Amino acid sequence: MTDQTSELLWWQRGVIYQIYPRSFMDANGDGIGDLRGVIQKLDYLAETLGVDAIWLSPFYPSPMADFGYDVADYCDVDPIFGTLADFDELLAAAHGRGMKVIVDLVPNHTSDQHPWFKESRSSRDNPKRNWYVWADPKPDGSPPNNWLSVFGGSAWEFDPHTGQYYLHSFLKEQPDLNWRNPEVKAAMFDVMRFWLRRGVDGFRVDVAHFLMKDPELRDNPLSQGGLALYKPMGDYDSQIHLYDKGHPDNHALYREFRAVLDEFEAISPRMSVGEIHISDWHEWATYYGQNNDELHMPFNFALINAPWRADVVREVVESVERVLNRGQQPNYVFSNHDEHRIASRIGEQAARACMMLLLTLRGTPTMYYGDEIGMVNGEIPPELAQDPWGKRVQGLGLGRDPERTPMQWDDSPNAGFSPSGVRTWLPVNPDYPTRNVKVQLADPRSMLNLTRALLKLRRESPALHGGAYRTLSGDAHTYVFERTAGDQRFAVAINFTEEAREVALPSRGEVAISTEMDRAAEPTAERLTLRPYEGVIVRL
């Protein structure tokens, strides 16, 4: 990697912050977050925190069977979130503060309430019939093949009106589009242009590896057990998903997808990041494209459910570094709207070291709202559960409500998310009086002030936001790596355990930041003792 970090594009040097709009800030007092709420908090994001881009989870009109990932209109805003004018104001206000805006694109499926699907299911000879994946029953009336829904049960739903089944890789309310139909491609590329013309800086592409299916609709082979990709998913794990996702034809499609983004490149650099759950590193990396002409980045989820062990984390990082070719940008993420919060998974002390790791590895980090204050999973009683996955596939802990609770802004009732007395869409975590933005801003050693210091150092340091990476040392307990650009050098040393550990450094230096926030400018020798779960950045 070149040391010329000044040539990096915004998405290569910046930090992305994911906002789940329902849960970020409620401006109109109905218990549900909205776009005007995001506008109210842009100063916090740009100035107080210091992130470079925001990614907004879906805000499109939707019946909300899967909280917005069932889209009924790709080119508008759901009234619960606001209006298109609110979105335009948000975009202009973010750009005015130097932040980029990424929106969620949900191309695999629509809502069953989308006008396209209503037409498609109206008759077998409707012009939009082939916009979705329809197939005849088997002679005994059963589904066309053995494909399964991620959310449980068959991936096929019988439509008695036309006597055929339609495919839904997720809920039956989320019919899959037929991306082999050129009309579907043209329509969805026009959706992209609609948002790109408005000034959107990029797309996060939902389930990006699902789009192309086997045209012959062949049965998936059965697995021999132990196939859970990154967490047990019930019956879904009983198959090798050879024909219903990860199809080789995705690659030609993403070259076309990239060409649409490139139409706008002369105005300002745009980007795409794809949600891709593929465990084989070489196959995962193919989504960058042989000529770096597909997705700008496939999301790297390997650390989301990895155990908090130095050797495991180091192996992931080194695997990424090995597999990527020139011009391919690594990226890391530890939390999102589908996975339990990092502080709940590994503990609050380790979460501080994890934030240091996220913001110092080579590549693009994506943070999840609330992680900067160490938010933990909410406990949602069954009668208040909202997530369809948790309701349909019970007993595996797949419900996603705990990581979607409202952002904790202050110690007022409802944590400053909604006015006092309003029932919020999910209950606010009861720890909000002591864990919130306001109280942590006043505590110099808080998780929030650690995150702010890390973001500031990263932004100011070419070695951290764009320099080369090299592993220095490590075992099962500690991980030490170096970031360099020109004559700027940092060593990052992290203790993954609850015991003090000694690590070797390549030379003398001084502490830039410790996760304990109490060692700044402390001189370091070539041996350094790390306290339990401590991370230290050393300026060499």
Q: Which pLDDT belongs to residue 305? A: 82
82-115 confidence digits (pLDDT tens): 999 999 999 999 999 999 999 999 999 999 999 9
Backbone region of residue 516 per phi and psi (left: phi > 0; alpha: psi in -120 to 50; beta: other values): alpha
Look at 454 and 388; give whichever has higher pLDDT: 454
**Residue 263 catalytic?**
yes
Kindly state the percentage of the chain with pLDDT values over 70: 95
489 phi/psi in degrees, rounded to 5: -135, 135
Given 263, 293, 311, 522, the catalytic residue: 263
E strands in 267-347: 271-274, 297-298, 331-333
490-513 tens-digit pLDDT: 999 999 999 999 999 999 999 999
pLDDT digits (tens, 9 = 90+) for 244-271: 999 999 999 999 999 999 999 999 999 9
**CB-side exposure of 135: number of CA atoms within 13 Å?**
24
| Active-site annotation holder among 206, 294, 401, 403 | 206
Average pLDDT over residues 284-308: 96
Q: Which domains does the chain show, CATH number per domain?
A: 9-106 (3.30.750.90), 115-167 (3.90.400.10), 468-539 (2.60.40.1180)
Q: Which of 495, 498, 503 is nearest to 535 (CA)?
A: 495
Residue 491's DSSP bridge partners are 482, 538
Q: At residue 364, what are phi and psi to the nearest 5 degrees?
A: -100, 120
Q: Let me know if 280 is a catalytic residue.
A: no
Report helix, strand and coil shares of the chain as percent, to nearest 5.
30, 15, 50
State the number of CA atoms in the 13 A half-sphere of 272 facing the CB.
32
The per-residue pLDDT for 410 is 99
Q: Look at residue 381 in the predicted model and tell me its pLDDT.
A: 83
Q: How far apart are CA 429 and CA 92, in angstroms?
A: 32
Instruction: Pick 297 or 67 by higher pLDDT.
Output: 297
224 vs 350: which has the higher pLDDT: 350
pTM of the model: 0.95
Which range is least confidently modeled, 72-81, 341-350, 376-385, 463-472? Answer: 376-385
CB atoms within 10 A of CB 421: 8
pLDDT digits (tens, 9 = 90+) for 169-195: 999 999 999 999 999 999 999 999 999
